[in-house]
């Protein structure tokens, strides 16, 4: 038996699924995991601030275009509702896998509600790598199945 990565990982158990920005460092919290968590937390907060600035420019554009109070209010409500739904959907996605068909059906809503999705990412990154608990549960289940 050689010491190639394939034989080592095959004997050690299933490979952990990588998480964006964290790779597989979430398994043992090594390889710069803490630094990555801080960077992701700060980065998502900066992205939220930038997103709010973009929305502010869009709102000012509506005011300059003089589209009227109804349209301006409708756009503000649309972004608020879509952000709330995107937050809820993103937050739920950290504890259970969403169905692929519902994920593609909600793609437009999640795009409009990008501030909510970024906010969910920020709050989750304060406690763990976003999606870590879901990946850990799946990895432990797969490891348990392999050893039994």
Q: Find the mean pLDDT for residues 70-82.
A: 93
pLDDT score recorded for residue 4: 43
Q: How confident is the model at residue 120 (pLDDT cuts 50, 70, 90)?
A: very high
Instruction: List the one residue out of 122, 115, 123 whose CA is nearest residue 55.
Output: 115
8 Å CB contact between 109 and 81: no
* % residues pLDDT > 90 (the chain): 41
Helices 69-92 & 114-125, crossing angle to 10 degrees?
40
Q: Answer yes or no: is pLDDT of 1 > 60.
A: no
């Amino acid at each position: 038996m050689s010491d190639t990565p394939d034989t080592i990982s095959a004997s050690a158990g299933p490979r952990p699924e990588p998480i964006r920005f964290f790779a597989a460092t979430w398994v043992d919290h090594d390889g710069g995991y803490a630094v990555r968590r801080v960077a992701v937390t700060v980065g998502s907060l900066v992205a939220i601030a930038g997103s709010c600035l973009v929305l502010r420019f869009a709102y000012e554009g509506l005011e300059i275009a003089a589209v009227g109070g109804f349209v301006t209010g409708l756009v503000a409500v649309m972004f608020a509702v879509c952000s709330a739904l995107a937050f809820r959907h993103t937050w739920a996605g950290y504890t259970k896998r969403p169905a692929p068909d519902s994920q593609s059906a909600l793609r437009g809503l999640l795009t409009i509600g990008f501030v909510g999705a970024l906010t969910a990412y920020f709050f989750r990154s304060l406690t763990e790598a976003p999606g870590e608990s879901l990946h850990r549960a799946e990895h432990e289940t797969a490891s348990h199945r392999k050893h039994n």
